[in-house]
Amino acid sequence: MDRFDTAPETALTWHRAGVGAALATVIETWGSAPRRVGAQLAISGAGEIVGSVSGGCVEGAVIVEALEALEDGGVRELEFGVSDGDAFAVGLACGGTIRILVEPVGAVLSEAMLADLVAARAARKPVAYVADLETGARVLVTEGYPERFRMDRSGFEEGTRRFVAIHNPPLRLIVVGAVHIAQALVPMARIAGYDPVVIDPRETFGSAARFPGERVVNDWPDEAVEAEGLDSRTALVLLTHDPKLDDPALEKALRSGCFYIGALGSSRTHAKRVARLEGLGFSEGEIGRIHAPVGLDIGASGPAEIAVSVIAEMTRVLRRGA
């Protein structure tokens, strides 16, 4: 899933309201397909839709098939070739082919399983929906697909008819320190798909004027970080250069499951940081999770280039692991 859409949540709401609902999921693509594998569209019994499986070029046909599936309670596997004309209309340079799975809620995808999926998403718990298209079995799992979870990669298990739909929480970036680098980093992170928050108790730095349209929290970093929560889809970047602000938040992060921890400062500054953390009882392995000096070494000069290096390093860790 490339974005945290609301197709499962909407389908559950429609089903419980008695309107009826089906979920359509892109399960395979070839060529320049408009949407990636795992993209979803919810269709109500009244023909309403939320989400997208093709950018608009085959939704009409999918709706018709979904309404028929709601009538007979059967699953559908659909295949569409996106013509050059249709592809151009949705902004593609050339055509592609997509295969779509349509599952009526209740008859194929049980209400209980869909509710569990929605609950996991609300709790920011990564979960995979596995549909065996050979046997008809459906199951939700939270383990067993580490590469798929890290890469946000839905798809068929090799050599099988078992389709794995990855439902990851949205990516989050928590920035401690409302400094110049943060002013460049936050909009870049949003473009890259992160939901950012800036934490700084100094209201002169952490102000709406300096971060227009962004969420700024003027609390002490350790309290704010704990309130925000640090999970496997969260990156933490510390930019204050002040141990009184950085260290308490860093202690919380090292005891959490966040996928990335970056801290601003020179090698000498980091050596002092390591000594402080060792004094607090943190192990070499725990301290080794910190990326410092923060960002890839690209010879960055100035806040914007440093922000680029940080986003690049976050992406490398997210997609390839530490």
d(CA 254, CA 284): 11
Q: What's residue 91's pLDDT?
A: 47
pLDDT at position 308 is: 98
Going by pLDDT thresholds of 50, 70 and 90, the confidence category of residue 83 is low
Note the pLDDT of residue 4. Answer: 44
* Paired residues of 173 in beta bridges: 196, 235
Which of helix, strand or coil describes residue 129?
A: strand
Residue 1 lies in a domain: no
Of the pLDDT bands very low, low, confident and very high (cuts 50, 70, 90), residue 87 is: low
Determine, yes or no, domain membership for 144. yes
- The residue range of the domain holding 29 is 7-167
- Residue 287, domain CATH: 3.40.50.720
Domain end (from 149, 167, 185): 167
Task: Give residue-wise pLDDT tens across range 98-116.
Answer: 899 999 999 999 999 999 9
Q: pLDDT band at 1, cuts 50/70/90?
A: very low
Percentage of residues in the chain with pLDDT exceeding 70? Answer: 93
For the chain, the domain total comes to 2
Q: What is the pLDDT of residue 241?
A: 86
**294 and 265 fall within a common domain:** yes
Confidence (pTM): 0.80
Which one of 132, 167, 202 terminates a domain?
A: 167
In a domain, 301, yes or no: yes
Domain assignment of residue 229, yes or no: yes
Mean pLDDT of the chain: 92
215 Cα distance to chain centroid: 18
User: What SS3 state is found at 202?
Assistant: coil
Based on the domain organization, do 155 and 181 belong to the same domain? Answer: no
Domain-embedded: residue 272: yes
**What is the structure's pLDDT at 30?**
82
Q: Is 218 among the domain residues?
A: yes
Asked whether residue 56 carries a pLDDT value surpassing 80, the answer given is no
Q: At residue 61, does pLDDT exceed 60?
A: yes
pLDDT tens-digit readout, 162-197? 999 999 999 999 999 999 999 999 999 999 999 999
109 and 159 in a single domain? The answer is yes
Is residue 2 included in any domain, yes or no? Answer: no
Burial of 209 per CB tally in 10 Å (0-12, 13-18, 19+): exposed
pLDDT given for residue 84 in this prediction:
52
- Domain-embedded: residue 298: yes
pLDDT higher for 241 or 203?
203
Q: Are residues 227 and 148 in the same domain?
A: no
Both 200 and 106 in one domain: the answer is no
Q: Are residues 310 and 175 in the same domain?
A: yes
116 and 131 share one domain: yes
Q: 112 and 215 share a domain?
A: no
Q: How confident is the model at residue 2 (pLDDT cuts 50, 70, 90)?
A: very low
Query: Which amino acid type is present at position 145?
Result: Y
Q: Are residues 149 and 175 in the same domain?
A: no
Residue 96 has pLDDT above 90, yes or no: no
Confidence of residue 281 (pLDDT cuts 50, 70, 90): very high
Torsional class of 156: left (φ above 0), alpha (ψ -120 to 50), beta (otherwise):
beta
Q: What is the pLDDT of residues 106-142, one digit of tens each?
A: 999 999 999 999 999 999 999 999 999 999 999 999 9
Among the three residues 107, 142, 167, which one is the final residue of a domain in this structure?
167
Same domain, 94 and 226: no
**CA distances, 116 to each of 33, 124, 141, 251 (Å):** 30, 12, 11, 33
Query: Residue 5: exposed, middle, or buried by beta-carbon count in 10 A (0-12, 13-18, 19+)?
Result: middle
pLDDT of 59: 86
Q: What is the pLDDT of residue 81?
A: 79
139 and 185 inside one domain: no
Whether the CA torsion 223, 224, 229, 235 is positive or negative: it is negative
